[in-house]
Amino acid sequence: MGKRKRSQPEVVPESEEEEDTLPRLPLARPSDEYNKKKGSWTNKQRVLVLCSRGMGSRERHLMEDLKNLMPHCRAEAKHDTKRDLKALNEVAEIRNCNKVLYFDSRKHMDLFMWISDIARGPSVKFHIICMHTMDELKLSGNCLKGSRPMLKFSPEFDAPHWLLMKELLVQTFGVPYHHPKSQPFYDHVFTFTLLDNKIWFRNYQILEEDGELAEIGPRFVMNPVKILANSFSGMTLWENPKFKTPSSVRSFKKMLKEDKNMSTDKQRGLREARRDDEPYKRSKLIETMYD
């Protein structure tokens, strides 16, 4: 016996009115209507952190503390101080970085810090004073490695040159959102306080939502020196009129100390000149006056 063929359902043709009401896709779509896929990590800021040769242990530990607090940084070997600083732009391009944080040590006692945007500038030079590392402070505050910091600036950043420094500090110390090495939450805050024409840096842990803080460290004060138009080059946009080089300050203190020693020697000489070489004659004269 042969198999029976299955009866197929008859297709009922749709009416012309129903066909007109159905939505029809366009045959061609312009390219600007496609939804472009956006990556989660859009602000791709990378900071190259390096130092010059001849840095002391204290300055080196300060740089390491900042590296631990900046998951978007990349380390590099020490830079030769005899070479031009413009070579740092090429090193940053090779490492695929758009910001440079360079620590320059002079005479094994003075520390300068450069913050530069290699793409279109500017670059700012700071003199670092009153520095204290985490190991020195041994404070109770703590934060997870890789967590994003909140940036807090005092309201005194209102002049044009201070606003320029503020924007550069935000782009350098701010951790990008959805960075692969960062944690998706805030548990500490960087404070930049403008006082006495200097920027005071502090790092605090956020303990409670009501604003209770605990200091973590490190501490340092940035004394701005000048602002250049380009990255480590170009015309000087602003220069601090109150800045004095550390060498001139040390020479002035040395001169005051020498003046103090000279005045002491002068007083000693006057005292020697007033001293009576023959006191016995004066004693005999006094005896005759009272007799």
Structure pTM? Answer: 0.75
Which runs of consecutive H residues, i.e. helices, occur in the chain? 16-21, 57-69, 87-94, 134-137, 160-173, 246-274, 279-290
Task: Give dist(CA 64, CA 91) in Å, integer.
Answer: 20
Backbone angles phi, psi at 272, to 5 degrees: -65, -35
Closest to 225 in 3D by CA, of 111, 118, 88: 111
pLDDT at 231: 93
228-262 residue pLDDT tens:
999 999 999 999 999 999 999 998 888 887 776 66
From CA 280, how far away is CA 282, in angstroms rounded? 5
Task: Output 139 or 19, whichever has higher pLDDT.
Answer: 139
pLDDT bracket for residue 281 (50, 70, 90): low
Confidence of residue 121 (pLDDT cuts 50, 70, 90): confident
Q: What is the pLDDT of residue 11?
A: 54
| pLDDT over threshold 70, residue 27 | no
Q: Say if CB 178 and CB 184 are below 8 A apart.
A: yes
| CA gap 186, 202 in Å, rounded | 16
The enclosing H or E element of 115 equals strand 110-117
Mean pLDDT of 29-37: 51
